Structure 1
């Protein structure tokens, strides 16, 4: 019985990653997609989640086997020029991610207290950085579990207020239905799920569970526990994402209301579902923004530390600088641009460019016997990741052509 419950001690790293794809940018993509295309794009969330499980599970193996995160491994095993391109582009992409997270906090604070966006952004940066600089992994995991629970319960409450065709939800979640007019929105929904900073972060935080790298039995046990944590957490994220989409369908699609931003969604919920539903929506967005700001900041510390072949350690200067580059860089963009929504569009373009670089780096490292030993990828895993990389690259090319 004790061994059965021992696995629960290993749940946490996956949840930290999960908040990365239920962030405010993801909220915006889901609510906008649901309001315009109804049930047609639910399968994209399923496809994105399956892709995420494969990539996150694989990159966690790198951390377990080598004791290095993805950034450290890239620095150690790549040509210096190549490693600079991959890692510095990853930092830029992480700043872009943080931009959306901080804006989510600011928009939620504006909804709740009429606080200006610039001030709400500052509050978001200050609070998230305080939490990063004053907490260990395990304490942060507890905060994140609480945040994810609040987000999840907020959507359960919202969905209880509307009528939903669960048969349509089930079918549409697994049966592809794509038309030319929905392709760009589908790309946005997919891109809001699969993001590079989560890959760097997962390979680092999986090491918060200490183990003996010389003991093969211990490593295999870690693989099992990690897969349970990753699968459970990603499925939880899948459920929350579907809930967002379905809520948007029920509230906006059938009333032919096209929602273009989160503030609009909040205002529209008041006459449709009442003040309490709108309040819970804003609180869920607030906790989503805070939790994802924490994880993007941690990812920034991980990547920047990896440039110097060091582990994430919030007491060392490299990690501190990485966290500050992420949050203050995003804040600087918010203050310097006139159109914040336009800045978000460009930030997504940065993610589109960087993600194939991260996937290609991960595939090279985890398929290399010199690096992974007998735990290198098998042929099926290599093919799966290669297909994912080619698919995402193709989507990016199509996106830029359009």
Structure 2
């Protein structure tokens, strides 16, 4: 056990990354709108996350490189290489900008629950001061490179909120039969976008890039692969349990509409009573700031690998990428759109981008020149293809649903 705790790291960060404001919001909405009916979608999401993140971890440990760097090296044709890099670049930067807006908005929800709204009107443009404040904090921490010092505090707060949901899910004495029925697939027509959002908030595309880099830094020997795989599975399954607990809490809260942190906090009232809103506000703020730092940083690492840039966080080009994603996140978060809708859109965007990144990852982990004897087995290929097929289906379904609603 002591050795296992010592090896905790990349998997925990991946798990903590998807237990952010997006997960809290989307899982709450799923519980409010469909009760326990979409628990099956979370199970699929968790399994898909384990399958894809294991490929990413194996790639990082064996190759000792990042995913975007390997893609750039392995694609030989100039035209195809340019197209692939452009696709990955746009997918990650645009996707992370949308995800960043959701992260910042989640933190804003926490501040608004305690201090109220803070909008500055300048002609036709309205700036959310809380969004600018969160963006400013993230910018300073990234610029100074001191975010790691605070990261442990933020993750601790998010984990505390996660434990609260797990405990609340138990003490509310939920409908066990209803929960069991929730693992049977249903609500296909009316729940499509929510299912995609659940997938998008669990299997985060940029985590596939980030995880490979984190693993390559922590472990150097192929003999440590089983340890990395075990750490990953335990972390993600625990994170998935928290997501399901949030759905269960929301389903038992009797809500009919969710627009702010106070609404989200209703699910925690059985445990925290009148302090539930404060607890949810602190949790959303911590989760939002943590994710607001990691999302731009991940985008910068992806772009760095795509273009083969040298230098680390201190280079001007590296800073320009994360700053751009951060600014876009603040702008999108300031738009006159309901915060809950922004967060949900970010998860849907992730769900649409996922197939693109998953296909590139699947191609790389099957190359003998990269992974040698550690390339995908037949079983891993079958599971990988099933995940990709599911991601493509949900992505297409999302586009069709959105077009039909125009």
TM over 0.5: yes
Identify which range, 72-81 or 59-68, moves more after superposition. 72-81
Gaps of 5+ in 2: 76-80, 120-127, 402-406
Kindly indicate whether residue 333 of structure 2 is the aligned counterpart of residue 334 of structure 1: yes
Kindly indicate whether residue 43 of structure 2 is the aligned counterpart of residue 33 of structure 1: no
Gaps of 5+ in 1: 212-217
* Cα distance in structure 2, aligned partners of 1:373 and 1:18: 28
* Cα distance in structure 1, aligned partners of 2:9 and 2:348: 30
Kindly indicate whether residue 4 of structure 2 is the aligned counterpart of residue 7 of structure 1: yes
* Cα distance in structure 1, aligned partners of 2:115 and 2:9: 32
* Cα distance in structure 1, aligned partners of 2:283 and 2:29: 17
Question: Is contact 1:369-1:376 (8 Å) kept?
Answer: yes
Deviation readout 1:310-331 (Å, 9 max, x if unpaired): 5783223343223212211211
Kindly indicate whether residue 86 of structure 2 is the aligned counterpart of residue 103 of structure 1: no
Instruction: Find the partner of 1:125 among 135, 140, 144.
Output: 135
Q: How does 1:180-195 map to 2 (within 5 A)?
A: 180-195=189-204
Question: Is contact 2:193-2:348 (8 Å) kept?
Answer: no
Question: Is contact 2:196-2:347 (8 Å) kept?
Answer: no
Secondary structure of the residue aligned to 2:36 is helix
Q: How does 1:2-401 map to 2 (within 5 A)?
A: 5-78=2-75, 79-116=81-118, 118-135=128-145, 139=149, 142-143=152-153, 145-156=155-166, 158-159=168-169, 162-166=172-176, 168-169=178-179, 171-172=180-181, 174-211=183-220, 218-221=221-224, 223-252=225-254, 257-263=255-261, 265-266=263-264, 274-310=273-309, 313-335=312-334, 337-341=335-339, 343-344=342-343, 347-348=346-347, 350-401=349-400
Classify 1:242/1:345 alpha carbon distance in 2 versus 1 (closer, same or farther; 3 Å): closer
Question: Is contact 1:158-1:277 (8 Å) kept?
Answer: no
Identify which range, 90-99 or 297-306, moves more after superposition. 297-306
Classify 1:99/1:149 alpha carbon distance in 2 versus 1 (closer, same or farther; 3 Å): same
Deviation readout 1:66-121 (Å, 9 max, x if unpaired): 11111111222222222222222211111111110000011100102225261221
Q: How many residues align?
A: 386
* Cα distance in structure 1, aligned partners of 2:342 and 2:311: 29
Classify 1:8/1:311 alpha carbon distance in 2 versus 1 (closer, same or farther; 3 Å): farther
Shift of 1:299: 1.1
TM-score of the aligned structures, taking structure 2 as reference length: 0.86
* Cα distance in structure 1, aligned partners of 2:347 and 2:233: 26
Shift of 1:229: 1.7
Shift of 1:247: 0.8
Classify 1:75/1:193 alpha carbon distance in 2 versus 1 (closer, same or farther; 3 Å): same
TM-score of the aligned structures, taking structure 1 as reference length: 0.87
Shift of 1:271: 8.5
* Cα distance in structure 1, aligned partners of 2:186 and 2:348: 25
Identify which range, 288-297 or 368-377, moves more after superposition. 288-297
